[in-house]
C-alpha cells in the first residue's frame, strides 16, 4: 500500500510530526531508487517532506526543499555517507542539491547544482 517505486512507499517520506503531509516529488523518488539500485542495499529515509511547522521545529532553512517535498535525508544500509555523496555528485554533476552530514546524506531534486557539508 502506498508503493511509489520498486522499493519505496509514500509513508517513508511522510512528515514526522504526524500532520499527514506525504507528497513526494517524482524526480526525488527516481534519484533515490537509482541510489538503491546502484548500491543494492536498503535505504532508510530519516526525513522526507516536512510541513512548515515541523521544518521550523527541526531548524530547517526557510527555503528548505523538504517543505516542497523535493528533499530527503537518508542512509544507505552498510554504505558510508561519503560514498553515497560521491556517487550522486559524480552521476548528477550539474544538478541536484547534495549535503554531506555525519551519518547521513541529503539530496534534493532542484534543477541547479548546490553542494554543502553540514
CATH number of the domain encompassing residue 111: 3.30.1380.10
Contact (Cβ atoms closer than 8 angstroms) between residue 64 and residue 50: yes
- Domain-embedded: residue 26: yes
Residue 2's pLDDT is what? Answer: 85
Residue 14's pLDDT is what? Answer: 97
- Domain-embedded: residue 73: yes
- Domain-embedded: residue 31: yes
- Domain-embedded: residue 2: no
Task: Tell me the average pLDDT of the chain.
Answer: 97
- Domain-embedded: residue 29: yes
Cα–Cα dist 64/68, whole Å: 7
* For residue 98, pLDDT beyond 70: yes
> What is the extent of the structural domain holding 59?
10-117
What percent of the chain clears pLDDT 70, i.e. is strictly above it?
Answer: 99
The model's pTM is 0.95
Contact (Cβ atoms closer than 8 angstroms) between residue 46 and residue 75: yes
Q: How many domains does the chain have?
A: 1
Cα–Cα dist 111/118, whole Å: 21
The region, left, alpha or beta by phi > 0 then psi within -120 to 50, assigned to residue 53 is alpha
Backbone angles phi, psi at 38, to 5 degrees: -65, -50
- Domain-embedded: residue 5: no
> What confidence tens digit (pLDDT) does each residue in 28-86 have?
999 999 999 999 999 999 999 999 999 999 999 999 999 999 999 999 999 999 999 99
CA-nearest of 77, 76, 63, 66 to 17 is 66
Cα–Cα dist 116/22, whole Å: 26
* For residue 6, pLDDT beyond 80: yes
- Domain-embedded: residue 28: yes
- Domain-embedded: residue 47: yes
Amino acid at each position: 500500500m502506498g508503493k511509489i517505486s520498486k522499493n519505496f512507499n509514500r509513508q517513508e517520506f511522510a512528515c514526522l510530526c504526524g500532520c499527514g503531509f506525504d507528497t513526494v516529488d517524482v524526480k526525488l523518488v527516481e534519484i533515490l531508487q537509482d541510489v538503491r539500485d546502484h548500491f543494492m542495499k536498503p535505504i532508510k529515509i530519516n526525513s522526507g517532506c516536512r510541513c512548515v511547522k515541523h521544518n521550523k521545529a527541526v531548524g530547517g532553512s526557510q527555503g528548505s526543499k523538504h517543505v516542497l517535498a523535493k528533499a530527503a535525508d537518508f542512509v544507505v544500509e552498510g554504505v558510508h555517507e561519503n560514498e553515497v555523496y560521491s556517487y550522486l555528485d559524480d552521476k548528477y554533476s550539474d544538478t541536484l542539491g547534495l549535503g554531506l552530514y555525519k551519518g547521513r546524506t541529503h539530496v534534493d531534486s532542484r534543477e541547479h547544482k548546490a553542494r554543502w557539508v553540514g
